[in-house]
Structure 1
Amino acid sequence: MSTHPSPPALLAGRGGPGERPAGTTPPGTVLHPFRGIRRSASALSRDRTPAFYVLEQRRGGALLQRGVIGALDLDASRGAVLPHEHVLAAKVRAQHRITRLVGGNPEPVLLACRDAPAAGAVLRRVTRAAPDTVVTAPDGTRHALWRLIDPGQQRVLAADLAARSVLIADGHHRYAAAWELRRRRDGRPGPWDRLPALVVDSARTPLGLRAIHRHLPDLGAREAAARAAAVADVEELDPDARRPPRPGELILVGGDGRYSVTRPRPEPLLRALDGRPEAWRRLDAAVLHCLFVDGVWRPPSGPRPVRYLHDGDGHPHDGEGPGSTPSRGTLVLLAPPAEDDIWRLAAQGVRVPEKTTSFLPKPPPWLLTYHHGHQTREPRNARGR
């Protein structure tokens, strides 16, 4: 379950995802300029002037993403930030430790908004100039940063975002850890009241949404299929077939076979999801865990180990992609959910199981650091502007 305060549900009857209903004044997304520490290939630059930071990511000249990084006001934005996944307490504690060790946050959370035209116009104007920092990743992605210090442009950008809600695309555990750090400060105000956030208008530069697959190292595919047949339709597939799963389908891949699992029986599904949100019946990850992993696949000795594998990652045993055959156990392939569905559920206050979504591209760590001490004192003996 989540370990941080849940933002209240947005008012019903609004026009579309990320848009506020006319005539209402709920909390908005409050973003502040901050003094960032920028990393280049050869040096660190400590900015003395608070700025918004425009981030653009390109690969092979093609634009992947453009957004703005600012310091998210946790309390003022609480009703506008929409988490969509549950978090794991151990990972929240780990992120809290990282924040304390670093003295701040080495990477922003990734937030998606919808249709922010005034902010988009500011970003396009800023990126016509040469960037202040450029870093090229090993995969060839070019990450460029521009400092936005013009007060007028800052006001336009902040006002546009203040009228919108945002979806946490990546960074649920960091967001929860920020609330935990704030709680441990006993209400004392300080830079820990804010969290660096990259806000991307996904209507203009769409985020990629990939599936997160599961690897069950101690369960063979044939046995998994046999057990699944008691509660769903199972079809054996051509072992050489490499098609991705369709929505509503799980594909089991192992050294002893390849199987398609679809159409769970209504009664076992309802029992498995008892007490869960009704919307979970249509979420493949929820059905996988509640009906199969914690149901017909669960051994008498206790929970079965599960490993997570993102699209594009190498396989944990043979170094190949998610469609490859694991050297042991079963790889469970899922189809990615639709972004509109995630927005709708988040606006209703429904959280999906952890590790359901993988939004891309993500901002690289250490490119821009939000250091708590740097916000409250003038840096010494360092480059900066």
Structure 2
Amino acid sequence: MLDLQESPVKAHERTLKGPKEDRLKLLRATEANFGHVFMLYQDPARRASGAADAEVAGREPDMTATDDFGNLHKLWRITDEEAIRAAREVLEGLPVFIADGHHRFETAVTFMRECFSRGWKPVPPETFTSRMVTLVNTAEPGLVIRPIHRIVHSLPGFDPDRLLKELERDFRVEALSSAEEAQTRLAAGMGKEHVFVLVLPEGRFYATSLRDEGKIPELVSGDRSLAWKSLDVSILHKAVLERLLRIDEERLAAGTNVSYTPYRDKVIDAVRKGEGQLGVLLNPTRVEEVLAVAGHGERMPQKSTDFYPKLLTGLVAMKMEIEKG
């Protein structure tokens, strides 16, 4: 847990100070985990998840719950030692990637250091040297990443037509007739080209696609891998938001000029109402892209992934046992 560079745990997302402070206060007060760290592993043969499936086949779930979004959660408890051993043998030594829960993971590391600094001793297995996680195989068909769209606001002197003209130097800019055509255009380009859709006032939509992939290292500056630079969101942030609109990483992290939502209609409504000067609709980041970036030990741009469905907080809890002397 202490060193993400050397650990089999790979992170991909940048974290923010505020959420980590809130989670640390909760951890100090409760000495328990209520929410999961959502982690991915690669097992195309489904050996680990297959062992779990076989163990619960034909059994009614031990618990069910419906969340506020209408998602039905089913929970089976597995106690059979053979099934647990079969899954463990597959998972041992495999790298795992944090899909969602970076703040929770880093907070767990901070809390662990605090406990050791106070002279507290862990009492395994459920203690401060462990973190409750959920492991999901990337081969599972139910694993979904939703796109996270951008709403640009509060830019002094923003001129949308000037932006379109400046974009034409490195991007193909196509006028679209409607939100439906915008979605169709995005879907057609997914995995084939770097494309996103600009939403402008007066109901205007423009597909923006990169002219020459060979220019990615030039357009996306910085000492990063080509996997990182080739992400649609990296190209948007570096080649458009930073280079043309002067919104750098610091302003992105502070939320000075950009807000985020997984809902396309919210982007369109915000621009229509004048709450946003520019909307950007993106394709979802693919799982293989997340794994490639994490494999390089890099963090993706903020708000790059929205894994769905979310794991329900409180469905399972881990109360820590600590010897405090």
TM over 0.5: yes
Alignment partner, residue 159 of structure 1: 89
Show the counterpart of 2:233. 285
The change in CA–CA distance for 1:258 and 1:353 in structure 2 (over 3 A counts) is same
Structure 2: how far apart are the matches of 1:141 and 1:147? Answer: 20
2:196 corresponds, among 250, 253, 269, to 250
SS at match of 1:192: coil
Looking at both structures, which has the greater relative contact order when contacts are Cα pairs under 8 Å and sequence separation is at least 6? 2
Among candidates 49, 73, 76, match of residue 146 of structure 1: 76
1:3-18 aligned at under 5 Å gives the runs: 5-8=3-6
Task: Give the unaligned 5+ runs of structure 1.
Answer: 9-78, 378-385
Query: Structure 1 residue aligned with 2:266, among 297, 315, 319?
Result: 315
Change (3 A) 1:326 1:236: farther
Q: Deviations over 1:68-119 (max 9, x none)?
A: xxxxxxxxxxx32221222223333333233234432221111122224144
Matches within 5 A, 1:44-83: 79-83=7-11
Supply the distance in 2 between the matched residues of 1:128 and 1:233 (Cα, whole angstroms): 54
**Matches of 1:268 and 1:346, distance apart in 2:** 19
| Partner-residue secondary structure (3-state), 1:176 | helix
Matches of 1:364 and 1:107 in 2, distance apart?
7
Residue 5 of structure 1: SS of its match in structure 2?
coil
Can you give the 5+ residue segments of structure 2 that lack an aligned partner in the other structure? none
Aligned to 1:306: 258
Give the AA of the match of 1:175.
F
The number of aligned residues is: 297
Structure 2 residue aligned with 1:109? 37
Q: TM-score, normalised by structure 1?
A: 0.67
Q: Distance in 1 between matches of 2:273 and 2:50?
A: 44
Which residue is equivalent to 2:20?
Answer: 92
Distance 1:129 1:140 in 2: 23
Structure 2 CA distance for partners of 1:352 and 1:299, relative to 1, 3 Å: closer
Q: Is the 8 A contact 1:110 1:171 kept in 2?
A: yes
Provide TM-score, normalisation by structure 2.
0.78
- 2:144 corresponding residue in structure 1: 208
Q: Name the counterpart of 2:286.
A: 338
Cα distance in 1 for partners of 2:80, 2:245 equals 58
Partners in 2 of 1:353 and 1:299 — Cα distance?
13
The aligned counterpart of 1:274 is 222
The letter of the residue matching 2:244 is V
The aligned residue for residue 43 of structure 1 is: none
* 8 Å CA contact retained: 2:219, 2:235: no
The whole-number CA distance in structure 1 between the counterparts of 2:140 and 2:210 is 36
